[in-house]
Chains A and B, each alone.
Chain A
Amino acid sequence: MKTTTDTPVLETKDITKTFPGTLANSKVSIRLEQGEVLALLGENGAGKTTLMNIIYGLYDQDSGEIFLNGEPYNIRNPHDAIAAGIGMVHQHFMLVPVFTVLENIMLGAEVMKGPFLNKTQARQEILELSNRYGLEVDPDAVVEDLPVGIQQRVEILKALFRDVKILILDEPTAVLTPQEIQELFQIMRHLTESGVSIVFITHKLKEVLEIADRIVIMRRGEVVGEANPRQVSEHDLANLMVGREVSLVVDKSEAAPKGVQFEVKDLVVKDPMKGLAVNHVSFAVRAGEVLGIAGVQGNGQTELAEAMTGLRKHEGGTVWISGMETPQANPRALVEHGMAHIPEDRHKHGLILQYPLTDNFVLCTYYKEPYSKHGVRNKKAILTTAEELIKRFDVRTPSAFISAGDLSGGNQQKVIVARELSRDVSVVIANQPTRGLDVGSIEYIHKTLIRLRDEGAAVLVISSELDEIMSLSDRIAVMYRGEIVDVVDAKQTTREELGLLMAGSKS
């Protein structure tokens, strides 16, 4: 064993963890030095979160050891982790929505005065912390009323309140606008200056290069490399992450748009909790162009997509395909008008997980010939189509009869793409088409969408990934609080401009 003068604050040695059917971590060894930002980079399913959950005591490892300041430390549950000065901000926030900021922060580490909670003192301590680290927040606000960015501050404060030495941030930027991301990075620098060590989990290359002091790359449960952010490029990191040469830019020719093929006029969707989820939205997509809808998650994109695709009733406005008005809340009519829909939630709206792939491939067309004749299904025709689509769209599956639920996320998405885009379509609505997919699948789906554009379809892409929007779109509409703030030309705009629009300010 090598002896170094400064021992790492946290070290894992040969951590292995299996879940039924998958090897989530295989002999993972990482080191975290005092006061550094260590980025843990990898695709979804690479085992980053599993490793952190083991360190935080939420999972038990099958084998391997954890060392804190060089001493072996047995973490059986979050309680042990907190006691050891480890804090974690989870990807899905662990905040009680109806509690105040104060209650959330002190939960589990209550400040007491005899048998009672001492909220006055706790408030004082929270305000001191928030001043010291520049995390401005109102201790008496109810968490569910706060924007996500502030909720994240509450999460960080929660960790600081427990006097963390090691802070784990799991995909902290997924829900933030570019400006909020900058604020988060400032906070992170502030924290490392005061001696906190940070593990930053992400799959976004730009962010890693910007904030990390050191990068560890994971793939399929293993550490595949370590990099210095000053010596590598995005391209190198992507190749390491995926394990083969990938292209980060979408190859596309200049768009040749024709007439308007899809139009939304003055659409209004009400939400019982939030008021107007979609607030008088109008836009048009021409044949042969891609319109991207950018925006931070939860600004009405889901409701807009559901209303356009007939999954939800809307309170006002009309949807037009090729100059024809479509009926409300009638998905089949829309399908027959030539609409293809890649839904945001592939498990809820995209597939019937219990059904075999064969049936999933004909969900929109099962009642038509040749799949059905006089109400009786023609299994042979269905199978022929299924096998053809599996081959054409490169779905990795042992057979066409396997349940959709047994495929990986990427392959499930390919099944949906195959079903929707193999039909004769004039309008494509793709909502978060690549969420949770590996770089390889993303490349494929992007190519397919561009191919459809070139064949003359009107393509609408809704995504909260700015990179995806920027590389696919010909024009970009930005949504904020249910409204389209602006529509900009994709070639002329910048990340900064889009970021400002996503935060609601019109430039």
Chain B
Amino acid sequence: MTVGVMNNGKIRRRPAWASPLIFGVIVIAVAVFSFMKNPSVTEAVMSAMIRFAVPLMLGALCGIYCERAGIVNIGIEGQMLLSAFTAYMTNVWTGNLILALLAGALTGALLGYFLAVISIKLKLNQIIGGTVINILAIGITGFFYQVGMTTKGKFGPIRLGPLAKIPLVGPVLFNNPPITYIAFLMVIISHIIFFHTRWGLRTRAVGEHPRAADTLGIDVFKTRYLNTIIGGALAGLAGAFLTLEGVGTFERNMTNGRGFIALAVMIFGKWNPIGSALAALLFGLANALQTQLQFMGINIPHQFIGMIPYALTIVVVSGFIGRSRPPAAEGTPYEKE
């Protein structure tokens, strides 16, 4: 240290990822313990956790990009659903999975642009904008979807060489289809973007205090547009994951509330990519456990077990995790003087 650091008014703060991390450590401990007792079931539950977590992770990232720039996006559900559909249809028509993936991401990005126009240019209520997207997606997919279409397949797992041989960790983490890897990669990239690049610093400033950003010559509108579009593309990836990687086919309303759970995940992770990824894994685990519990035939009505992830959402959102503060300017259109 060459420079002395003064200490006026400095307060230690708990980092955003702290509470999800505590949960994460507990989960790992439990997993290791149960792996020693029953390896195959543990592996299955962990893999299911990842499968459930990926769309939530991507959905939450979408929320983070939008809200960090000051745009509330409750249309993630709709963005995921319509993207799942276009990805699926592209797969049906072309049989090209890469093309299908791009179609999904593009759909999400376009819906992101739509939300951006509504909330930045037209300055309409952003909650209504998001709701419009949700209703639009249900309507369009319901209208155009026909039962009985077939595809040539879905993304298969890619083994990452020797890494995949590590017990428990290998099969769970390093033997996955491509979108899963992309999701994890995007979490890390997003974290770097938000906290270590110019773009991230400016985006956060725009979401917290747009006028301050404006007085420093930062283009508030452009920043908001681009982030909402990037976020949309990520939600699109989440949708593509469902039809190209997770399920392999399209069903009506197949997102089933994941877009909203993604928002809870984002809040739990305190608008932080890594925190949200950990939170997504926790939700994934809750989901995997409920499936497993149903298989095991425990004497609880399956409806109750099925509730676990949703009950968890309510608990998390109702503030169990402590105060989680959203970006100050979110939801308010910026107007130049």
- Residues of A near any B CB (own CB < 8 A): 53, 56, 58-59, 77-79, 82, 88, 90, 94-99, 103, 106-110, 112, 115-117, 123-124, 127, 136-142, 145-147, 150
B216–A150 touching, CB < 8 Å: no
Q: Which of B8, B13, B192, B337 contacts A137 (CB 8 A)?
A: B8
Residue of B nearest to A94 (CB): B212
Q: How far is the CB of B216 from chain A (nearest CB, A)?
A: 3
In Å, the complex CA distance between A400 and B23 comes to 64
Name the one of A58, A99, A117, A127 contacting B215, with C-beta atoms under 8 angstroms: A58
Chain A residues lying within 8 Å of B328, measured Cβ to Cβ, are: 97-98
Residue of B3, B9, B11, B202 most packed against chain A (CB within 10 A): B9
A-B contact pairs, 25 of them (CB 8 A): A58-B337, A78-B214, A79-B217, A90-B215, A94-B211, A94-B216, A95-B209, A97-B328, A98-B208, A98-B328, A99-B204, A99-B208, A107-B213, A110-B198, A112-B198, A116-B192, A116-B197, A123-B3, A124-B3, A136-B8, A138-B6, A140-B5, A140-B10, A142-B13, A150-B9
Contact among A77, A103, A141 for B9, CB-based, below 8 A: A141
Docked Cα-Cα span, A77 to B204, in Å, equals 21
Q: For the complex, give the distance between the alpha carbons of A88 and B212 in Å.
A: 11
Q: How far is the CB of B204 from chain A (nearest CB, A)?
A: 7
Q: Which of B13, B215, B325 contacts A56 (CB 8 A)?
A: B215
Determine if A136 and B6 form an interchain contact, defined as CB atoms under 8 angstroms apart: yes
Minimum C-beta distance from A400 to chain B (A): 33
Cα–Cα distance between A166 and B197 once the two chains are bound (Å): 29
A59: chain B residues at CB < 8 Å are 337
B208 touches A97 (CB 8 A): yes
Across the interface, B198 reaches (CB within 8 A) one of A88, A98, A117, namely: A117
Q: Closest 8 interchain pairs by CB? A: A108-B216, A79-B217, A94-B212, A138-B6, A96-B209, A110-B198, A141-B10, A96-B208
Residue of A nearest to B329 (CB): A96
Complex Cα–Cα for A115 and B192 (A) = 10
A-B contact sample (16 more), CB < 8 A, given A99-B208, A107-B202, A107-B213 = A77-B217, A78-B215, A96-B213, A97-B328, A108-B213, A116-B197, A117-B198, A137-B6, A137-B8, A140-B5, A141-B8, A141-B9, A142-B10, A145-B9, A145-B11, A150-B9
A108: chain B residues at CB < 8 Å are 202, 213, 216-218
Complex: A123 Cα to B6 Cα, angstroms? 12
- Chain B nearest CB from A199 CB (Å) reads 16
In the assembled complex, B18 has its CB within 8 A of some CB on chain A: no
Contacts from B to A (Cβ < 8 Å): 3, 5-11, 13, 192, 196-198, 201-202, 204-205, 208-209, 211-218, 325, 328, 337
The answer to whether residues A138 and B9 also contact, given A59-B337, A88-B215 and a CB cut-off of 8 A, is yes
A106 to B197, CA, bound (A): 12
Give the dominant DSSP class at A's interface.
Answer: loop
Q: How far is the CA of A59 from the CA of B215 in the complex (A)?
A: 11
Interface-central residue, A108, A127, A139, by most chain B CB under 10 Å: A108
Q: Are A138 and B7 in contact, CB atoms less than 8 angstroms apart? A: yes
B198 to chain A, nearest CB (A): 5
Measured in the bound complex, the distance between the Cα atoms of B218 and A420 in whole Å is 46
Which residues of B have CB within 8 Å of A53? Answer: 337
CB-based contact B208/A78 at 8 Å: no
Using A99-B205, A117-B196 as known contacts, say yes or no to A109 and B9 having CB atoms under 8 A apart.
no
Q: In the assembly, what is the distance between CA of A150 and CA of B7, in Å?
A: 12
Q: Would you call B11 and A142 a contact (CB within 8 A)?
A: yes
Give the residue name and chain of the B residue nearest to A93 (CB): B212
Contact assessment for B217 and A78 in the assembled complex, using a CB-CB cutoff below 8 Å: yes
Report how far A415 CA is from B241 CA in the complex, Å: 64
Q: Which A-chain residue is minimally distant from B209 (CB atoms)?
A: A96
Chain B residues with CB under 8 A of A96: 204-205, 208-209, 212-213
Chain B residues near A90: list those with CB within 8 A: 215
Verify B218–A138 contact, CB threshold 8 A: no
Give min CB distance, A134 to chain B, whole Å: 13
CA distance A99 to B215 in the complex (A): 16
Which residues in B have their C-beta under 8 angstroms from that of A116?
A: 192, 196-197
Contacts of A56 in B (CB 8 A): 215
Q: How far is the CA of A51 from the CA of B3 in the complex (A)?
A: 41
Given known contacts A98-B328, A117-B197, A117-B201, is B215 in contact with A147 (CB within 8 Å)?
A: no
Q: How far is the CA of A98 from the CA of B192 in the complex (A)?
A: 18
- Across the two chains, which residue of chain B brings its CB closest to A130? B6
Taking a contact as CB atoms under 8 Å apart, the answer to whether A82 and B10 are in contact is no
How far apart are B326's CB and chain A's nearest CB, in angstroms? 11
In the complex, the answer to whether A95 meets B212 with C-beta atoms within 8 Å is: yes
CB-defined contacts of B208 to chain A, threshold 8 Å:
96-99
> Would B215 and A94 count as touching, CB distance under 8 A?
yes
Report the minimum CB–CB distance from A133 to chain B (whole Å): 15
**Are A103 and B6 neighbours in the complex by a CB distance under 8 Å?**
no
- A residues within 8 A CB of B201? 103, 106-107, 110, 117
Q: How far is the CA of A99 from the CA of B197 in the complex (A)?
A: 14
- How far does the Cβ of B82 sit from chain A's closest Cβ, in whole Å? 33
Residues of A within 8 A of B197 (CB): 115-117
Chain A contacts of B3 at CB under 8 A?
A: 123-124, 127
A117 to B216 CA separation, bound complex (whole angstroms)? 17
- Distance (whole angstroms) from the CB of B272 to the closest CB of chain A: 12
> Smallest CB-CB separation from B6: which chain A residue?
A138
